[in-house]
Copies of this chain bind each other. A is one copy, B any other.
């Protein structure tokens, strides 16, 4: 498959969308990003890398970090995780409090904010030095030691993070989290603030294609666990647009409000795309379009 050519063709086709949507602007650090950027990188399980345009520009991975957090938690707790979080798609916005109230503090899945806050709480309990161990894990996955938290972003998000603070308080009320609320929120926002490039993200997700044993920075996952993580990405990875993404793209993946999306073709490749302008549901306009065209052109989807 000539992925280089395919990525070039995709770009020509999506250029008409380049001014559509609006970048996230709820914190200054995201608002000041130049919205007119595009990067993409596909890495195959055999190690071929197809970078395209700004594939080495780092951006705020935001919710994509939840996949790393889930991998760590599954490695640490296994199926016990599911006592505190569900695995069903939410049918509501990623930051809804209604579901939490109705279902008495059990988040629907680990990728809505409430669920990721529970993952964060578990990491705080289970890890000795959460800050270091998390970033070490991510660095091991992507092979870049310079990948790091952006503290300006994290602090800024905490300051404006009223809704996530509401969620964390609600979880605490229901006994779903056990650590100090401020500690949980700060670590949550730190994890979200990690900055990576498309090239680094694609490489970091190669282990989730399940081609070989997963063993990074001391953490192990079985082949079955990785499959199940992909299932969660498939059904819950795109907020209230998971069905649409599954329908149009047909690959498990995860998006972030920084404009990044990573998708996985199991046993074959991982692909990351980034463009800051978002649609009304918080997903990158050009990113989703690019991935739709990729699976249409290659006929490579899981279905």
Contacts and interface: CB of A to CB of B under 8 A. Distances in A.
Nearest to A166: B169
A256 interface: no
A203 interface: no
Contact of A242 (B165, B226, B235, B248): B235
Chain A interface mostly: helix
B210 A231 contact: no
A107 to B, nearest CB: 12
Contact of A102 (B89, B98, B228, B232): B98
A55 interface: no
Given A97-B97, A162-B181, A302-B303, 4 more contacts: A90-B91, A228-B247, A230-B303, A252-B303
A89 B242 contact: yes
Interface string A78-119: 000000001111111000111111100000110000000000
Interface residues of A, number: 54
A171 to B, nearest CB: 8
A-B pairs with the 5 shortest C-beta distances?
A: A91-B91, A89-B89, A162-B173, A166-B169, A230-B303
A278 B166 CA distance: 28
Contacts of A97: 97-98, 100-101, 166, 170
A250 B248 CA distance: 19
A89 B243 contact: yes
Contacts of A248: 228
Name the residue among A92, A99, A231 with the largest chain B CB count within 10 angstroms: A231
A73 interface: no
